[in-house]
Amino acid sequence: MYLCSFMGSDKGMVYVTRKLHFNAAHKLYNPNWSKEKNTEIFGKCANEYWHGHNFDLFITVKGIPNPETGYVIDLKVLKDLVEEKVIRKLDHRNLNLDVDFMQGKMASIENLAKAIWEELYPYINAGELYCVKLYETPRQWVSYYGK
Ligand code: NI
C-alpha cells in the first residue's frame, strides 16, 4: 500500500470511482411479522413473488496517487476485484436466497451496501475504500462510508 505522506490529513487525497452494474431480485419481508404488517410497512416491496431492480454500484477508493503510476488504484484491478467478490454473486440472483453475504439480513439497499463494503474492504490493496454507493432506481440510492 502506498502510505499517505501527510499523516492525519486528507491533503493530496484523490477519490477514484468505478461504476458497475447488476440485476437482482429481492423482497422486503420480515418473517417475525404477519403478512398484513409486512404489507403495511413495505407495500409492494413485500410481494411474496419477488421483484427486480437494475442496480448501479459506485465504488470509491481514496488515496495519494502513486508517483510512479499516477494511480490511486488501477481501475482495471478494482473492476476485476469488485466483479469477483460481489458482482458475480449478485448478478441475476435473488438477494434473499442466493447471496451468501446477505443470509439472515433484510434485503434492503442499506444492508446490501454495508455487506458489499465488508466483502471488499480487506481486498483493496492500494488506497483505501472510501464509499459504497448503491442505486436501486435512478431516484433512490444509499451511500455507506464504513462508519
Ligand atoms: Ni425493491
Domain architecture of the chain: domains with CATH = 16-144 (3.30.479.10)
| 128-137 and 51-63 strand pairing | antiparallel
Per residue in 27-84, pLDDT tens?
999 999 999 999 999 999 999 999 999 999 999 999 999 999 999 999 999 999 999 9
Q: Given this model, what pLDDT does residue 10 score?
A: 80
How much distance in Å is there from the Cα of 51 to the middle of ligand 1? 6
Question: How far, in Å, from the CA of 137 to the mean position of ligand 1?
Answer: 9
Based on the residue annotation, tell me whether 92 is a catalytic residue of this protein: yes
Rounded CA-CA distance 143/132 in Å is: 6
**Sheet of 93-94, strands arranged across:** 93-94, 14-26, 51-63, 128-137, 140-144
CA of 46 to the centre of ligand 1 (A): 9
pLDDT digits (tens, 9 = 90+) for 123-144: 999 999 999 999 999 999 999 9
Which residue in the list 21, 40, 84, 92 is annotated as catalytic?
92
Nearest to 105 by CA among 96, 94, 92: 96
Residue 45 annotated in active site: yes
Distance from the alpha carbon of residue 25 to the mean position of ligand 1, in angstroms: 8
Cell numbers standing for residue 146? 464504513
Ligand 1 mean position, distance from CA 77 (Å): 30
- Residue 136 bears catalytic tag: yes
pLDDT at 8 over 80: no
The string of DSSP letters for 123-139 reads G--SSEEEEEEEEEETT
pLDDT at residue 2 tops 90? no
pLDDT of residue 144: 98
